[in-house]
Amino acid sequence: MAEAALRREQSGASAGGAAHATVRTVIDRVRADGRTSLTAPEGKVVCDAYGIPVPQEGVANSAAEAVKLASAMGLPVVMKIVSPDILHKTEAGGVLVGLKSAEEVSKGYDTVLANAKNYKADAKIDGVQVQQMLKGGTEVIVGAITDGSFGKLVAFGLGGVLVEVLKDVTFRLAPATRDDAMSMLDGIQAAEMLKGVRGGDPANREALADIIVKVSQLVSDFPEISELDLNPVFATKSDATAADVRIVLDFEQKPRPVTRSNDEIVAAMNRIMRPKAVAVIGASAEAGKIGNSVMKNLINGGYKGEIYPIHPKADEILGYKAYKSVKDVEGVIDTAVFEIPAKFVAGALIVCGEKQIPGAVLIPSGFAEAGAPELQDEIVEIGKKYNVRLMGPNIYGFYYTPENLCATFCTAYDVKGSAALSSQSGGIGMAIIGFSRSAKMGVSAIVGLGNKSDIDEDDLLAFFEQDENTKVIAQHCEDLKDGRAFAEAAKRVSKKKPVIVLKAGRTSAGARAAASHTGALAGNDKIYEDVLKQSGVVRARSLRQLLEFARGVPILPTPKGENIVIITGAGGSGVLLSDSVVDNGLSLMSFPKDLDEAFKTFIPPFGASGNPVDITGGEPPKTYQNTVRLGLEDDRIHALILGYWHTIVTPPMVFAKLMVEVYEEMKAKGKDKPVVASLAGDVEVEEAADYLYQHGIPAYAYSTELPVEVLGAKYKWARGAGLL
Amino acid sequence: MAEAALRREQSGASAGGAAHATVRTVIDRVRADGRTSLTAPEGKVVCDAYGIPVPQEGVANSAAEAVKLASAMGLPVVMKIVSPDILHKTEAGGVLVGLKSAEEVSKGYDTVLANAKNYKADAKIDGVQVQQMLKGGTEVIVGAITDGSFGKLVAFGLGGVLVEVLKDVTFRLAPATRDDAMSMLDGIQAAEMLKGVRGGDPANREALADIIVKVSQLVSDFPEISELDLNPVFATKSDATAADVRIVLDFEQKPRPVTRSNDEIVAAMNRIMRPKAVAVIGASAEAGKIGNSVMKNLINGGYKGEIYPIHPKADEILGYKAYKSVKDVEGVIDTAVFEIPAKFVAGALIVCGEKQIPGAVLIPSGFAEAGAPELQDEIVEIGKKYNVRLMGPNIYGFYYTPENLCATFCTAYDVKGSAALSSQSGGIGMAIIGFSRSAKMGVSAIVGLGNKSDIDEDDLLAFFEQDENTKVIAQHCEDLKDGRAFAEAAKRVSKKKPVIVLKAGRTSAGARAAASHTGALAGNDKIYEDVLKQSGVVRARSLRQLLEFARGVPILPTPKGENIVIITGAGGSGVLLSDSVVDNGLSLMSFPKDLDEAFKTFIPPFGASGNPVDITGGEPPKTYQNTVRLGLEDDRIHALILGYWHTIVTPPMVFAKLMVEVYEEMKAKGKDKPVVASLAGDVEVEEAADYLYQHGIPAYAYSTELPVEVLGAKYKWARGAGLL
């Protein structure tokens, strides 16, 4: 709510009380009439109230009245039947365009009426609308839809059938700010059309943005408006006017679920993720059992808090005193890890509730994912009633390394670091663990979300936002239960820490698989694409990217500008790295003369001038050192991409150590810039890449793409967070 | 030439002798007049000769004559000034459209003349063209251009400014076959527009293809035609007519370089790549010298042919008798590897020529790439004169593993296999060697092409085409010296063996770097994209893809159809794998009922139905075995993608061994299908992935993209080769 108010403030689109009352009156009348859409005159009233420009018009009840109206507003005009019973006016022959004389208008009135009667004999006719005919300018569409997960969205695209074929439309969460609206004008493939092509006039961007903001405000103010179309809007050099308005209402819309306050979420998540005491419900002394693995991971992982095994009979498990029930434990318990059959979960959860345990980590499967939604509904109700937050069910558990906490049945993981990862799927969770171990990626947390019966991505965002051990948040998800809440949390959190999301089920085939897997509704990927970007989220395109971004992004310092320089020993790598620069939305710096000359003093006379700086292949370590030092030293340069070529003169580890030396030397002098490296050479480059990575320079062997993708992710985040 | 003749035959567009003579006469007249473009009536003559439909028209020399013409062809008409001195007719006010009556035509004649005189007082006026006015249908553009590397290209796109903004145009080498032309109609983003949208009529595809084929034939027959535009062409349900014709001539065009016959290329390349004797010009006994590394690599690599070190003073080098000159060697020499300073290369090359050595491998740098193009021109001339083929200069040399031949100064490489790789850049060559060794990729050859003064990608294609040790050809290139020759070779070779190309300098930034690196002209990437596809080439999008495709594509058997099935233990992997399937142009099989039921007998009751087959995470090895066996056995399924989830019940190596067992069992029964795998789990999955890969199943840990990309590459090849 605060967010919405803020946006309204920013957008300057606040519709005063009178405007609100006017629209409310129209909507109430539509509801009273049992209709679900507005007539054109009603649409005009709504547009007028919100300051959305529409053509001059009036409703005539006789041919003479039509001629009078037309003369007043100026010819040519458009005439349209006004009837609550005729929604598709064109189909009904109820629209005439380009009427150029009084005579044509007079005849037109009779024609429209006759056609309407012919189309539907018993249609109630309210008259014939006479409308100023717009012409010229660029035809665009502004609209709004209601999405199951994200709620109200405003849409923008060019008009015309070709655009429909190309699906060249862009979306933003409503209400949209003026900046959002401006970004929509640049967010379509055919954006150039708005700038005036072949000598044509550009469209008035301010006027278009204004309409977008107002439409987004209107649908936000009136949740009943499920769909809205201004199609076409004619945008000229001086203004923009909506030639046709279509508004559809849905009075049955479900209100958004009540959300917890951020403070409440954070308080509970802090106790669950950093517990002072953990109970293991279903702890087992028997090796091979999941309840045994969980105990061992807690103990061997080095967790320093209390561990309470809960077991109906045992007195002791793995050296820890066992209890029959959490109620028998004297002290406070923060987290209860469940590993008991699904059918016993509800009962045990009630006991946890009575014990006032704030969080249950539900490893068991056998709920919604296995055809038992009723079991899941039951535990969700219990969780709500007793205020126990539920993680899962159907998960591997979670890791929180700063507390040495492995609340999971998977293998322990102990490389501490600053990346917090989560996955909706257990398989992807295992891939996260394997990759992390293999790549020596330091993590703060790995969390399984599984069926997301309660705790979901936005709860994790709230926790990691204030978790000082986390610098980057990387999430795999298939659906977002409440996309609106996620987007709002991500927008806030991504201002402070990079949020990276791999949205699975992007494609329709993927979405089908997602649906069969979790019962989640397939999202329209274009909506996800636009809203995630609007929320400052960096979107990973593949599992490997999610993992590489989680690994590399927190290591890189935030760049201070867009000037990127490639320094390469292999000209061929320089070309491929340049391709990657463009592919990742980055740009190579154009050298001022002095900088070009400065680089040239270090490289052989036949080395190519400009950026990439091609130091040529046979050069000694000194050449890499001099050029990279210059690149770090000069404040006009903001990031470096290194292309190393393995030669006898400069072997891989010599290169790697020297680069780290220069990097650290310059960092000590306050010249802290993102540096990434691509290493071309024999297998020794793998060791060199590891060394560089461990010392703050994300580096990859045999790839000219990955290092630039990681740098690109850092830039995307920095731009989204307003730091560039 | 044979290729061109064949295409003409296939296209059925052979323009008879009379047509050819007609166009020749027009072009000769334009040349004689000192003009470089055709007038509209000349354009019509050319179109008529080649059977390209144009509107009825005639040239009037009086208003009365114009009225007569217009009445004969039917109103409305278009009128255009005819003047060799006015190229931009619209600008000159020399075009009037939509003249609907005799009166308008008569007035129009005078207006056009007056405007033309006003625009250019001394313009020679040949009259006023009266043309039938076309309307309705879809507006498209058919054109032709002359590209520096690829020669004549035919282009197709929709008409209108929006298409220009979106750059939605597609190209093919001219002459184009009917199939090429048909593929162009589907090759634009907005292809759907041609199929009729919003109830509109579809465009006549046959008629459009016919025009494309004829235009492509015309520009192929007359190299002087440098540019041609039919814009717009009106395509209706029944026909297609070019409303305006623009033909530009260039009489200064360079003829294509004379190319060698394939037999000649193959004969020389076979001697060079599989030599019986190698001379090392600049061999050295001194460790650390490149001439010493080359000798050691030849010896230690296990090469069984003769090795002749050439050195001005030494009697013996590394146990081999040394010679002062190749002329002192009694026997035949096939390959001379050069490692002497650039300035001495020309002299030594003449001696090689006199000794009739067919190939020189020129490791030295210091030629065109180092600002000494004259040194390079000199050796190219010597090569031509003595018929010595030149590899390089400025290269690492080459490897040909079937002969244990390491004719290079880099480290030896000995993992034999079926992938032949080449690179234009030395750095990329080192990446190829490092990756190959690291991934245990078997290779037949690795070749450095460097400055490509002579031997280039199409020479290698010709050699590898007939090399029984090579199953896949993977090439990195920055430019193609003769794109036409490459495309023709690739089209032929790719029918037999996959040809994979990483074209660097794709983007304008990359192209700039390519230009500064090799002096090569930047290619328009869309042209490369379309022509490579037309030639059956699989394009790699990144260095890592080039390498992974080279590794995986030859291992996979050729699929027999498009029905792909995912079998996964992790539902989450199934969703991501499905996304990858769509991203890579593949499609998931829709299960017939019996197949769905057959799979369901093996999986838990709550496992999802359909494709992906989600066997769920906790399943024992038997479940993977049963479902994969079914997938291999059923002939309606053509390829499998496996998603493995690491669990205690089915550990990684248990899974890997079992899969190989089933795979080999079914292969023995003739059920040989491509299978790829994605492994999600802890680090043990890396060993399992290696094991699977070594046994014919390309498998990747922590990635749901790479296995599907490799499968997609195999499919792209098979489709291009006409095997699917």
Q: Which tens digits make up the pLDDT trace of A289-312? A: 889 999 999 999 999 999 999 999
Segments of A209-258 assigned E as strands: 225-235, 240-242, 245-249
> Cβ of B710 under 8 Å from any chain A Cβ?
no
Q: Where in chain A is the domain with CATH 3.40.50.261?
A: 262-552, 564-720
**Cross-chain Cβ contact B371/A617 below 8 Å:** no
Q: Please state, rounded to an integer, the average pLDDT across all residues of chain B.
A: 91
Q: What is the mean pLDDT of residues A212-236?
A: 94
Q: What is the mean pLDDT of residues B554-572?
A: 95
* DSSP-assigned letters across all residues of B676-699: EEEEESSTHHHHHHHHHHHTT--E
Measuring CA to CA, how many Å separate B138 from each of A134, A489, B242? Answer: 25, 48, 12
**Cross-chain Cβ contact A158/B162 below 8 Å:** yes
Q: Which residues 86-105 of B have a C-beta within 8 angstroms of A?
A: none
pLDDT at position A133 over 90? no
Instruction: Assign A558 to helix, strand or coil.
Output: coil
Distance of CA A213 to the CA centre of its chain: 20
pLDDT band at A509 (very low <50, low <70, confident <90, very high): low
**Cross-chain Cβ contact B570/A646 below 8 Å:** no
Do the Cβ atoms of B722 and B496 come closer than 8 Å? no
Fold of the domain spanning A138-249 = D-amino Acid Aminotransferase; Chain A, domain 1 (3.30.470)
pLDDT at position A455 over 80? yes
pLDDT at position A10 over 70? no
Q: For the segment B168-208, what is each residue's pLDDT rounded down to a tens digit?
A: 889 999 999 999 999 999 999 889 989 887 778 899 999 99
pLDDT score recorded for residue A510? 60
Q: For the segment B481-506, what is each residue's pLDDT rounded down to a tens digit?
A: 899 999 999 999 999 999 999 999 87
Q: For the segment B41-58, what is each residue's pLDDT rounded down to a tens digit?
A: 899 999 999 999 999 888
Segments in A102-144 forming alpha helices (H): 102-119
Per DSSP, B370 falls in state G
| Amino acid at residue number B577 | L
What order do you get walking across the sheet with A613-614 strand by strand? A613-614, A564-568, A639-645, A675-680, A699-701
Q: Which residues 388-417 of A have a C-beta within 8 angstroms of B?
A: 410-411
**Cross-chain Cβ contact B434/A646 below 8 Å:** yes
pLDDT score recorded for residue A11? 43
With vertex at residue B551, the alpha carbon angle to CA B547 and CA B552, rounded to the nearest 5 degrees, is 120
Chain A residues with CB inside 8 Å of B579's CB? 504-507, 509-510
Q: Where in chain B is the domain with CATH 3.30.1490.20?
A: 56-132
Q: Where in chain A is the domain with CATH 3.30.470.20?
A: 138-249
**Burial degree of A638 (CB within 10 A; 0-12, 13-18, 19+):** buried
pLDDT at position B572 over 60? yes
**Cross-chain Cβ contact B424/A572 below 8 Å:** yes
Of chain A, the percentage scoring pLDDT greater than 70 comes to 95
Architecture of domain B564-720: 3-Layer(aba) Sandwich (3.40)
Segments of A508-638 assigned E as strands: 538-539, 564-568, 613-614
Count other C-beta atoms under 10 Å from residue A329's C-beta.
17
What order do you get walking across the sheet with A499-503 strand by strand? A405-408, A397-400, A443-448, A416-423, A472-477, A499-503, A538-539
Chain A residues with CB inside 8 Å of B198's CB? 161
Q: Facing residues of A567 across strands?
A: A613, A642
pLDDT at position B162 over 90? no
Segments of B495-614 assigned E as strands: 499-503, 538-539, 564-568, 613-614
pLDDT score recorded for residue A649? 87
Q: For the segment B380-422, what is each residue's pLDDT rounded down to a tens digit?
A: 999 999 999 999 999 999 999 999 999 998 888 888 999 999 9
Nearest of B553, B557, B720, B577 to residue B638 by alpha carbon: B557
pLDDT score recorded for residue B10? 41
**Which of B430, B449, B642 should one mutate to test binding to chain A, selecting the residue with the greatest count of A CBs within 10 A?**
B430
Chain A: closest CA distance from residue B26 (Å): 33
Predicted model pTM: 0.90
**Which of B139, B702, B703, B706 should one mutate to test binding to chain A, selecting the residue with the greatest count of A CBs within 10 A?**
B702
Distance CA B442, CA A491 (A): 49
| Amino acid at residue number A94 | G
pLDDT score recorded for residue B413? 87
Q: At what angle do helices A571-583 and B508-518 cross, to 10 degrees?
A: 170
Q: For the segment A634-663, what is each residue's pLDDT rounded down to a tens digit?
A: 999 999 999 999 988 899 999 999 999 999
Do the Cβ atoms of B149 and B482 come closer than 8 Å? yes
Distance CA A171, CA A183 (A): 10
pLDDT band at B164 (very low <50, low <70, confident <90, very high): confident
Q: For the segment B197-255, what is each residue's pLDDT rounded down to a tens digit?
A: 777 889 999 999 999 999 999 999 999 999 999 988 999 999 999 988 999 999 987 77
Chain B residues with CB inside 8 Å of A583's CB? 507
> Cβ of A612 under 8 Å from any chain B Cβ?
yes
Of chain B, the percentage scoring pLDDT greater than 70 comes to 95
Contacts of B314 (CB under 8 A, 6+ apart): B283, B285, B322
- Compare CB distances from B517 to A166, A424, A608 and report the shortest one's residue: A608
pLDDT at position B33 over 60? yes
**Burial degree of A158 (CB within 10 A; 0-12, 13-18, 19+):** buried
Residues B501-522 as b/e (b if ≥16 CB within 10 A, e otherwise) read bbbbbbbebbbbbbbbbbebeb
Count other C-beta atoms under 10 Å from residue B400's C-beta.
26
**Which of B576, B596, B705 should one mutate to test binding to chain A, selecting the residue with the greatest count of A CBs within 10 A?**
B576
Longest pairwise C-alpha distance within chain A:
100
Spelled out in words, what is the top-level CATH class assigned to the domain B1-36+134-255? alpha beta
**Cross-chain Cβ contact B504/A369 below 8 Å:** no
DSSP run (H or E) holding A145: strand A138-147
Chain B residues with CB inside 8 Å of A684's CB? 434
Measuring CA to CA, how many Å separate B195 from each of A161, B178, B207, B235? Answer: 13, 18, 14, 11
- Compare CB distances from B433 to A193, A614, A682 and report the shortest one's residue: A682
pLDDT at position A511 over 70? no
Q: What is the mean pLDDT of residues A19-47?
A: 95
Chain B: closest CA distance from residue A161 (Å): 8
Token pair for B575: 């969703």
Mean pLDDT lowest among A208-222, A253-267, A316-330, B29-43? A253-267
B696: left (phi over 0), alpha (psi -120 to 50) or beta: left
pLDDT band at A508 (very low <50, low <70, confident <90, very high): low
pLDDT band at A539 (very low <50, low <70, confident <90, very high): very high
* DSSP-assigned letters across all residues of A246-308: EEEE-TTPPPPPP---HHHHHHHHHHHHS-SEEEEET--SSTTSHHHHHHHHHHHTT--SEEE
Token pair for B663: 């795979």
**Strand pairing report for A564-568 and A639-645:** parallel
pLDDT band at B11 (very low <50, low <70, confident <90, very high): very low
Distance CA B176, CA B240 (A): 18
Distance CA A519, CA A368 (A): 8
Distance CA B529, CA B387 (A): 34
Spelled out in words, what is the top-level CATH class assigned to the domain B56-132? alpha beta
Residue with tokens 């990575």: A693
Residues B589-616 as b/e (b if ≥16 CB within 10 A, e otherwise) read bebeeebeebbbebbeeebbebbbbbbb
pLDDT score recorded for residue A13? 45
Chain B: closest CA distance from residue A541 (Å): 9
Q: For the segment B648-685, what is each residue's pLDDT rounded down to a tens digit?
A: 889 999 999 999 999 999 999 999 999 999 999 999 99
Count other C-beta atoms under 10 Å from residue A391's C-beta.
31
pLDDT band at A371 (very low <50, low <70, confident <90, very high): confident
pLDDT score recorded for residue B486? 96
**Which of A576, A584, A700 should one mutate to test binding to chain B, selecting the residue with the greatest count of B CBs within 10 A?**
A576
> Cβ of A138 under 8 Å from any chain B Cβ?
no
Do the Cβ atoms of A396 and A423 come closer than 8 Å? no
pLDDT at position A34 over 90? yes
Q: Please state, rounded to an integer, the average pLDDT across all residues of chain A.
A: 91
Distance of CA A335 to the CA centre of its chain: 30
**Going by CATH, does the domain composed of A262-552 fall within 3.40.50.261?**
yes
Count other C-beta atoms under 10 Å from residue A181's C-beta.
26
Contacts of A690 (CB under 8 A, 6+ apart): A440
Q: How far apart are the first and last CA of chain A?
A: 28
> Between these two residues, B620 and B4, which has the higher pLDDT value?
B620
pLDDT score recorded for residue B523? 41
pLDDT score recorded for residue B512? 55
pLDDT score recorded for residue B253? 78
> Between these two residues, A93 and B399, which has the higher pLDDT value?
B399
**Cross-chain Cβ contact A588/B706 below 8 Å:** no
pLDDT score recorded for residue B12? 42
pLDDT band at A519 (very low <50, low <70, confident <90, very high): very low
DSSP run (H or E) holding B287: none
Q: Which residues 183-222 of B have a C-beta within 8 angstroms of A?
A: 189-190, 192-193, 197-198, 200
Nearest of A683, A529, A549 to residue B410 by alpha carbon: A683
> Cβ of A160 under 8 Å from any chain B Cβ?
yes
Nearest of B145, B135, B156 to residue B208 by alpha carbon: B156
Distance CA A322, CA A313 (A): 8
Q: Facing residues of B227 across strands?
A: B248
pLDDT band at B90 (very low <50, low <70, confident <90, very high): confident
Kindly compute the dihedral angle of the four CA atoms of residues B244, B250, B254, B259, in this order, to the nearest 10 degrees.
20
Mean pLDDT lowest among A40-44, A332-336, B162-166, B420-424? B162-166
Mean pLDDT lowest among A671-680, B518-527, B620-629? B518-527
**Strand pairing report for B639-645 and B675-680:** parallel
Distance CA A546, CA A501 (A): 7
**In chain A, which residue's Cα lies nearest the Cα of B572?**
A425
pLDDT at position B608 over 70? no
Per DSSP, A390 falls in state E
* DSSP-assigned letters across all residues of B602-647: TS-TTSPPSSSEE--TT--HHHHHHHHHHHHH-TT--EEEEEEE--
Token pair for A698: 């994300």
**Cross-chain Cβ contact B645/A430 below 8 Å:** yes
**In chain B, which residue's Cα lies nearest the Cα of A589?**
B509
**Cross-chain Cβ contact A701/B438 below 8 Å:** yes
- Compare CB distances from A612 to B163, B513, B704 and report the shortest one's residue: B513
Chain A residues with CB inside 8 Å of B508's CB? 582
